[in-house]
Homo-oligomer: A and B are copies of this chain.
């Protein structure tokens, strides 16, 4: 398959922006008619509700965005039935022409890492996405199997470099003897993979990206400079407090190099007072359009 970074850039340029919607459905927040499908303590019916909701969200936002991120945790909570719904939504998003990032945060060592890579980037299973998020705590040889699978299958990886939670810094910002922080060492590793010709696309970007959930624009600029050929997956638009202007430092001068993700502000938009009078799918679509317009403005202004 064609290089993931190239496929991603093609999709981004077709839409004119790098907006990603996070599909992290929570049963309690679904529209009443769908929520009502789920019976108490019945995982199958809950998983069916998530699937029905997820398909409708994909139908609403699919024509507007290049890529959707589906978070495995929200499906695993319903066990094997939930994972089947996760797999179903990957397929539905593909049929809607979207690229899919599987937000699975997997990581392990040796042969186990190879199996996770097969499960989510290769093999014959139904949970294979175009790219996944992975955890770098294991060091280089823990990540290598994911890099190799991405190379072999034309898929991508986003390595967790810096996460946006309050206590992330207690590990990730530890200063090492040469003055760098732990997450900057992970970033340096990502940069080394970025030079792997197997992963490099025709536009100069690698299929090995990074999750960059920094808390300041200065930190964002530092990560951008550390990993020039890397696609940054940036959480936090909307519900997490970000506005488009905040995301400017994540992009390169070519207007590429970052994906900005919005979750709750789009997929639960129907909870907002101003959207109470329109069908819930229309609320999601409208909120997605706002997001896309806001982000498109930033990108073209770079």
Chain A residues engaging chain B, CB cutoff 8 angstroms? 24, 26, 41-43, 71, 73-74, 76-84, 86-87, 105-113, 115-116, 118-120, 123-128, 135-142, 160, 163-172, 174-177, 182, 185-186, 189
User: Please, which residues of chain B bring their CB within 8 A of the CB of A42?
Assistant: 124
CA distance A82 to B142 in the complex (A): 22
Q: How far is the CB of A69 from chain B (nearest CB, A)?
A: 11
A77 to B113, CA, bound (A): 11
Q: List 14 A-B contacts (CB under 8 A).
A: A26-B111, A41-B124, A42-B124, A71-B112, A78-B124, A79-B128, A80-B83, A110-B165, A135-B135, A136-B137, A138-B171, A141-B167, A142-B163, A176-B176
Residues of B within 8 A of A126 (CB): 43, 79-81
Min CB distance A133 to B, Å, is 9
Tell which of B81, B116, B166 touches A141, judged by Cβ atoms closer than 8 Å.
Answer: B166
Question: Closest residue of chain B to A168, judged by CB?
Answer: B139
A108's nearest neighbour on chain B, judged by CB, is B105
Measured between beta carbons, the chain B residues less than 8 angstroms from A128 are 79
Question: Once the chains bind, are B80 and A87 in contact (CB under 8 Å)?
Answer: yes
Task: Assess the B84–A116 pair: CB atoms within 8 A.
Answer: no
Contacts of A177 in B (CB 8 A): 175
Q: Which residues of B have CB within 8 Å of A165? A: 109-110, 138-139, 141-142
Assuming the contacts A80-B80, A80-B83, A120-B76, asked whether A170 and B140 have C-beta atoms less than 8 A apart, the reply is: yes
Q: 6 closest pairs, A vs B, by CB? A: A79-B125, A139-B167, A109-B165, A79-B126, A80-B84, A76-B119
